[in-house]
Amino acid sequence: MWFGVAVIGFIGVVFLALVVATYKMARRRQWAMAAAVALPTTAFAYLYLTFMGPALWIAFFGDPHLDALPATAVMVPADELEDLFKNRTHTGRYYEDGAWYVYRETYRQGGRISGSGGPEKRPTQWTWSGRWEIDGENFCRHYRREDYCRPVYQDGDVYVETNEQGDVFNTFTVSAPAKKLDPKAEHLTGAKLRFIIEGMVHTGKIIGSENYANFQSTFFDHNHAVYTLRGNNADSLYVTEYGWYRIEDDRLCVAGTLDMKNDCFAVHVLDGNYSFVLDDDLVVMISTRPY
C-alpha cells in the first residue's frame, strides 16, 4: 500500500513542479512556452484528481463508505479462534472495490475453505475455495490470488474484521456447530448409492447455513449434471445453480452447486432421510428423495 502512496505522491510532486514552471514562464511573459506547459498540466491535473486523488484520500483518511471499529468490539482470543471457524459456516457481507457483497464460507476441518458470494440480487454468483489457518491471534485466509491474516473482533452476535486503516470491511455471523452422524444410519455403497442419486431429485437443507440453505437438486443420470434451486425456505426456491457430480469410491462428489467445490461425501440413510457426510462424521447436508 505504501509503495502505491509513494508513487502517487511522486506524481503529485511532478505536477506541482509543472505548475511552478508554468507560473514562472507567465511572469516572464513567455506566453507561448507557458501555454505549451499549461495545457498538458491542466489535463494531467484532471486525470490526477479524478483517478489518483480518491486513492490518496483513502490511504490517508480511510474509505468514507466504511465505519470504524465499534468501541464495544473486543478481539477474539487466540484460544477461541479455532472453535469460531473449524467446521463452521459464516454468513456475512464484505467490502471490495467500492461495493458491498454478501457471502457464505464454510471452514472445513483440515484447513479447507469453500465459499460463494455476490451482489444482493445474485448472492451465489461466484464460488471459490482456499485454505485457512490460525497464526497467533490472527486468522489467515489463503486464496488463489490473495493471502491475508487479521485479528477477528466480536461485537455482540456479530463478528467483524478491519482493514489497514482500522475500518470494518467484513462482518459475519456464525452458524451452529456441525451435526454429527447418527451411528444407526446405513452407509450406502455401490448399486445402492447409485440408485438413490442418479436420475433422482433430492430436497433438503444445508446444515448450519443461514443463506439460501434450502434446496432441491436434480441429479441427471445421462450427463452427471446437477440442477439446483435454492431459497431461504422450502416453499420459496428461486436461486438457480448448475453443477456436476460423480460417484467415486462409494462417495458422492459435487462441484459448482450447493456451495461445493469438488467436495466428496459418504451418503447415509436413516428413516428415509439422507445425510451427506464428511470423513469426520460431520453431516453437511440432509435430504429426502421425493422421486
Each residue's pLDDT, cut to its tens digit, for the chain (291 residues) gives 455 456 556 666 666 676 777 767 667 777 777 667 666 767 766 666 666 555 555 555 556 778 889 999 999 999 999 989 987 889 999 998 888 999 988 887 778 888 889 998 888 888 888 999 999 999 999 998 889 899 999 999 999 999 888 899 999 998 766 678 899 999 999 999 999 999 999 999 987 665 688 999 999 998 999 999 999 888 899 999 999 999 999 999 999 888 787 888 899 999 999 999 976 677 888 998 777
Contact of 260 with 170, CB cutoff 8 Å: no
Neighbour count for residue 162 (Cβ, 10 Å): 19
Contact of 159 with 93, CB cutoff 8 Å: no
Q: What is the pTM of this model?
A: 0.55
Q: What angle do CA 109, 133, 265 make, to 5 degrees?
A: 20
Cell of 177: 456447530
Cα–Cα distance measured from residue 234 to residue 251, given in angstroms and rounded to the nearest whole number: 26
Cβ neighbors of 208 (< 8 A, separation 6 or more) are 88, 89, 106, 175, 176, 177, 178, 179
Cβ neighbourhood burial of 253 (10 Å; 0-12, 13-18, 19+) = middle
Contact of 142 with 129, CB cutoff 8 Å: no
Question: What are residue 180's DSSP bridge partners?
Answer: 282
Cα–Cα distance measured from residue 221 to residue 194, given in angstroms and rounded to the nearest whole number: 9
pLDDT reported for residue 25:
67
DSSP result, 182-224: PTTSEEE-HHHHHHHHTT-EEEEEETT--SS-EEEEEE-TTT-
